[in-house]
Amino acid sequence: MQASLLTLLFAAALLASLAVKFWLASRQMRHVARHRDAVPADFAATVPLAAHQRAADYTLARGRFGLLSTAFSTALLLGWTLLGGLDALNELVRDAVYPRFGGLAYQLALLAAFALIGGALELPFDLYNTFRIEQRFGFNRMTWRMAVGDMVKGVLVGAVIGLPLAALILWIMAAAGSLWWLWAWAAWTAFQLLILVLYPTVIAPLFNKFEPLPDESLKARVQALMARCGFAAKGLFVMDGSRRSAHANAYFTGLGAAKRVVFFDTLLAKLTPGEVEAVLAHELGHFKHRHVQKRMAVMFALSLAGLALLGWLSSQVWFYTGLGVQPNMGAPNDALALLLLMLALPPFTFLLGPLAARSSRRHEFEADAYACAQADGRDLASALLKLHEDNASTLTPDPVYVRFYYSHPPASERLAALRLHAA
């Protein structure tokens, strides 16, 4: 009875989330298309019609592709679960590995096989997005050789980092008793913090080159800003983002003494020194308001809740059978339970997305306000306009779509708030 109820609830949640995604995407595309031929009045003096139409076309192209990608992902999720894909994979890997190499090797092989197959099935969509959509609108600078190299590096880094972590978690699940999920959470949290320290100096340089900021005048300006804001960083670096994309960005990375400020070379090429300072002041606003720490705390709390839930569900036979999998009789089920929870949760938690998006938008407004206090708000406004135009971000998104998905406020709302701060 419980298995049948779970099957029904999962199918209903999956279909409901698909319907909402399609409805939201359709609203967004209709709204953008309806406003394609006229620049909004607030931007008429600063944004050319051609740039506005390019942004609309880019949004529509990504929207149509998103519909196809969403439909495929939903079908794939259904295939892995209720249609028996994960059950078949588990049986194949278990019979091939478990009798000869034991439970841990079998479970690691199952996780690796699932990741590789899932990645291979999603790969055509990633390549189409990069080499057709991004290429069509002038953003892609990747070559096929670079794409293959990134994929190989990604698999190797995932294996070197992911397999030992998975082995540790699986060992804890088997050895730590009924409260294994608490110990597993501690290990996962420690791993996340370690990655924050290692990423800037060990992982990121595998994919991009980082050079010290060469512009001494800009460097002095940025250091003065950071001194005013009480922010210490290990260095200021320029990343060769232009090798892969024309999109621009700046960010902080690392933890504690390993913190770095990173500018995309594309950002420095497009913005004036004052605008760069204002964008960095915005990022420092996130630091000042402890947004990163707050988001990390939420992430750690959710991971604790998820592992506690898994601690209960992994011992329930109906959890497996209700999602299309027969639990192992003589072999451990820990990896199987991990995969099932990872697959089953998104349809049930989909409607929580707007809460996270709303919190993120509030953080962006707070960071903008801080930037206006530490730098010139007019520079931040002009930088935002340049980045919106260069990234082909639509100026006319659908309001409902914004409330559901946007982690950053739309340009019209941000600029209106900036004008209030400047008044």
**409, 358 Cβ separation under 8 angstroms:** no
In which region does residue 256 sit, left (phi positive, over 0), alpha (psi from -120 to 50) or beta (all else)? Answer: left
**368 an active-site residue?**
yes
Question: Could you say which of 134, 334, 368, 398 is catalytic?
Answer: 368
Tell me if residue 214 falls in helix, strand or coil: coil
364 is in an annotated binding site: yes
286 is in an annotated binding site: yes
H or E segment and range at residue 262: strand 260-264
How many C-beta atoms surround the C-beta of residue 347 within 10 A? Answer: 21
How far is the C-alpha of 20 from the C-alpha of 18, rounded, in Å?
6
**103, 331 Cβ separation under 8 angstroms:** yes
For 302, 311, 330, the CA distances from 326, given in Å and listed in that order, are 28, 18, 12
Query: Torsion angle of alpha carbons 238, 243, 247, 253, nearest 10°?
Result: -40
Please give the single-letter amino acid code of residue 301.
Answer: A
Q: In the Cβ-directed half-sphere of 40, how many Cα atoms lie within 13 Å? A: 15
Question: Could you say which of 87, 134, 275, 283 is catalytic?
Answer: 283
Q: In the Cβ-directed half-sphere of 10, how many Cα atoms lie within 13 Å? A: 28
Burial 79-97 (b: 16+ CB within 10 A, else e): ebbbeebbbebbeebbeeb
**258, 335 Cβ separation under 8 angstroms:** no
**283 an active-site residue?**
yes
**112, 163 Cβ separation under 8 angstroms:** yes
**254, 196 Cβ separation under 8 angstroms:** yes
Residue 320: phi and psi, rounded to 5, are -75, -55
How far is the C-alpha of 58 from the C-alpha of 246, rounded, in Å?
14
Helix 334-349 vs helix 85-101: angle between axes, to the nearest 10 degrees? 160
Query: Strands 236-239 and 260-264: what pairing?
Result: parallel
Q: Which residues are annotated as a binding site for Zn(2+)?
A: 282, 286, 364
Active site residues: 283, 368
Q: Which residues are annotated as a binding site?
A: 282, 286, 364
